[in-house]
């Protein structure tokens, strides 16, 4: 497992163009004092996500940014997998919101497809990939189980957050304080594995 430099002066590209993810990954990285810069700020184009799994797409994004910038890059591929829909929208979670990134529409689509199915189980999944300019890659995955609710509730977070109630809670991710979501989210779980492997004691 390859480690990353940490502390002042250590630069890392956060290979995302999603502002919601950028806020969350920035907060997770903050304690490590790294100089995190986003792919958007560096004008790195978004690669086509041609993978068939979260991990494959995270690797595509991390490698594209690492090679383009000459710096290590961290990418996140994530989404909502609904059990009764065979795991959809899954890796297509962003695409179900269309070019206008209309997540009200995406949540409505999922709810319509579920109809009166009583099985509302779903999971948020996050794959993180860190890539170096020489092509080396490490990957980590985190999930959080829960259910989807209707109507969506809460204005915090982004994407499908108002639609998802994590197991053991009454609030949706959209209603929760961001700090509470960060304690248990799919992204936080994948990030904890990344920290253990690549940052701790580095
Ligand atoms: P990048 O590829 O630039 O990172 P993206 O939005 O296209 O941005 P993805 O392909 O990984 O990213 O799509 C993931 C979608 O899944 C994202 O747009 C959200 O709608 C949803 N999603 C992922 N994590 C989420 C979270 O913590 N809360 C709510 N929705 C989430």
pLDDT of residue 141: 98
- φ, ψ dihedrals at 144, nearest 5°: -135, 130
Q: Is residue 5 part of a domain?
A: no
Q: What is the mean pLDDT of residues 4-32?
A: 89
pLDDT of residue 201: 61
Q: What is the mean pLDDT of residues 81-99?
A: 98
pLDDT of residue 5: 84
Distance 120 CA to ligand 1 centre (A): 20
Q: Is residue 44 part of a domain?
A: yes
Q: Is residue 6 part of a domain?
A: no
Distance 77 CA to ligand 1 centre (A): 7
Print the domain residue range for 186: 11-199
- φ, ψ dihedrals at 163, nearest 5°: -100, -10
Reply yes or no on whether 77 is catalytic: yes
Model confidence at 149, pLDDT cuts 50, 70, 90, reads very high
> In 3D, which of 27, 21, 22 has the Cα closest to residue 183?
27
Q: Is residue 2 part of a domain?
A: no
pLDDT of residue 1: 87
Domain count, the chain: 1
For a mutational test of ligand 1's pocket, the pick from 40, 160, 166, 172, i.e. the residue with the most ligand atoms closer than 8 A to its C-beta, is 160
pLDDT of residue 122: 98
Q: How far apart are CA 75 and CA 13, in angstroms?
A: 8
Indicate which residue of 43, 77, 116, 170 is catalytic.
77
The mean of the pLDDT values for the chain is 95
Tokens of 31: 């304690």
Q: Which atom of ligand 1 lies at the shortest distance from residue 18's CA?
A: 8
For ligand 1, is residue 88 a contact (CB within 6 Å)? no
Q: How far apart are CA 73 and CA 67, in angstroms?
A: 9
Q: Is residue 93 part of a domain?
A: yes
Angle at alpha carbon of residue 182, lines to 176 and 184, rounded to 5°: 90
Sort strands 35-38 and 137-148 into parallel, antiparallel or unpaired: unpaired
pLDDT of 62 higher than 60 = yes
Q: Is residue 3 part of a domain?
A: no
Q: Is residue 4 part of a domain?
A: no
Q: How far apart are CA 3 and CA 110, in angstroms?
A: 39
pLDDT of 202 higher than 70 = no
Model confidence at 43, pLDDT cuts 50, 70, 90, reads very high
Tokens 């690669």, residue? 47
Query: CATH number, domain at 168?
Result: 3.90.950.10
Question: Residues within the annotated binding site for Mg(2+)?
Answer: 48, 77
Q: How many CB atoms lie within 10 A of CB 141?
A: 19
pLDDT of residue 164: 98
For ligand 1, is residue 93 a contact (CB within 6 Å)? yes
Over residues 14-26, the pLDDT tens digits come to: 999 998 889 889 9
Q: Is residue 167 part of a domain?
A: yes
CB 129 within 8 A of CB 75: yes
CB 31 within 8 A of CB 192: no
pLDDT of residue 119: 98
Model confidence at 49, pLDDT cuts 50, 70, 90, reads very high
Q: If you take atom 8 of ligand 1, which residue's CA is the nearest one?
A: 18
pLDDT of residue 200: 79
pLDDT of residue 79: 98
For ligand 1, is residue 194 a contact (CB within 6 Å)? no
Q: What is the mean pLDDT of residues 77-89?
A: 98
């Amino acid at each position: 497992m390859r480690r990353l430099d940490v502390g002042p002066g250590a630069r890392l590209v956060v290979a995302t163009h999603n502002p919601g993810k950028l806020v969350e990954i920035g907060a997770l990285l903050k304690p490590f004092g790294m100089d995190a810069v986003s792919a958007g700020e560096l004008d790195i184009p978004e690669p086509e996500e041609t993978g068939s799994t979260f991990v494959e797409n995270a690797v595509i994004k991390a490698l594209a940014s690492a090679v383009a910038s000459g710096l290590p890059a961290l990418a996140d591929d994530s989404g909502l997998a609904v059990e009764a829909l065979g795991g959809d929208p899954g890796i297509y979670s962003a695409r179900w919101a269309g070019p206008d990134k209309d997540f009200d529409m995406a949540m409505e689509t999922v709810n319509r497809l579920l109809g009166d199915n009583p099985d509302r189980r779903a999971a948020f999944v996050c794959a993180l990939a860190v890539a170096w300019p020489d092509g080396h890659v490490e990957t980590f995955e985190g999930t959080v189980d829960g259910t989807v609710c209707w109507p969506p509730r809460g204005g915090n977070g982004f994407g499908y957050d108002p639609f998802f109630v994590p197991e053991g809670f009454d609030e949706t991710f959209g209603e929760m304080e961001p700090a509470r979501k960060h304690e248990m989210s799919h992204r936080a779980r994948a990030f904890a594995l990344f920290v253990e492997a690549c940052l701790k004691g580095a």
